[in-house]
Amino acid sequence: MSAVPVPVPAGPEGGAVPRHVAIIMDGNGRWAKARRLPRIAGHKQGVEAVRRVATAARELGIEVLTLYAFSSENWRRPEEEVRDLMGLLRFFLKNELKDLIAEGVRLRVIGDYHALSSDLVAMIDDAIARTAGNGGSTLVIALNYGAQAEILAAARRLAAAAKAGEIEPDAIDEAMFDDALTTHGLPPLDLLIRTSGEQRLSNFLLWQAAYAELLFVDTLWPDFDGTALAAAVAQFGQRQRRFGGL
């Protein structure tokens, strides 16, 4: 796969539809706090938002949807909250796998998810294996993911290959580096959305976002839905992407 983005196809109304959309799902805690509910209530509503948005993405013709579910920094949160988040992940995998298979969705996970509990790793591996042959859209979940760690790991793999004489150091280019990342084989990232009004990338897809369009929306993640995603896609379609040219 080339590291250089290519033009995306036109949508049914002439606007460009992003092939690959990533979302930093932010605002679950604030959603719950505004309603004087425990944080876990916000996370539960966040899972419902995942269902809505994943369905809408398929209907809009988005090939790949990447969701930032748990960062490598999220371990710093209270132990109870981390436990609740892992429980919701189990719930999602258990209850959504049949629908993913039925809809032809391929599940992919990026990040060091093998650091999670053994039963959860087994569930993830099973879901990946059972959807591997699906030819429809791809749902990518970022778990225990950090972009800086991903870039370092890719650099170390390429350095080791060069040291072993498998590749020439001067042959390492953007495309080769891109293929060393955990997102290898996916279309280039076209659109990155962050909900809740925060305007930072939080160590998410730093390499992949080099030429992505960035969109920061005030909507808290539990309130984000298909209409909001369609509006984001419409904004994307109105932007001019030059990739450094004129």
Report, as residue numbers or ranges, the catalytic residues.
26, 74
Please provide the size of the chain in residues: 246
Q: Which two tokens stand for residue 175?
A: 């495309």
Q: Which two tokens stand for residue 129?
A: 């294996």
C-alpha dist (Å) from residue 27 to 39, 42, 217, 219: 10, 8, 11, 8
Q: At 79, which amino acid appears?
A: E
The torsion angles phi and psi of 22, rounded to 5 degrees, stand at: -120, 145
Rounded CA gap, 121 and 209, in Å?
Answer: 28
- Strands 191-194 vs 20-24: parallel, antiparallel or unpaired: parallel
Rounded CA gap, 218 and 180, in Å?
Answer: 34
The residue assigned the tokens 């925060």 is: 198
For residue 41, give every residue at least 6 positions away whose Cβ sits within 8 Å of its Cβ, in sequence order, or none: 32, 35
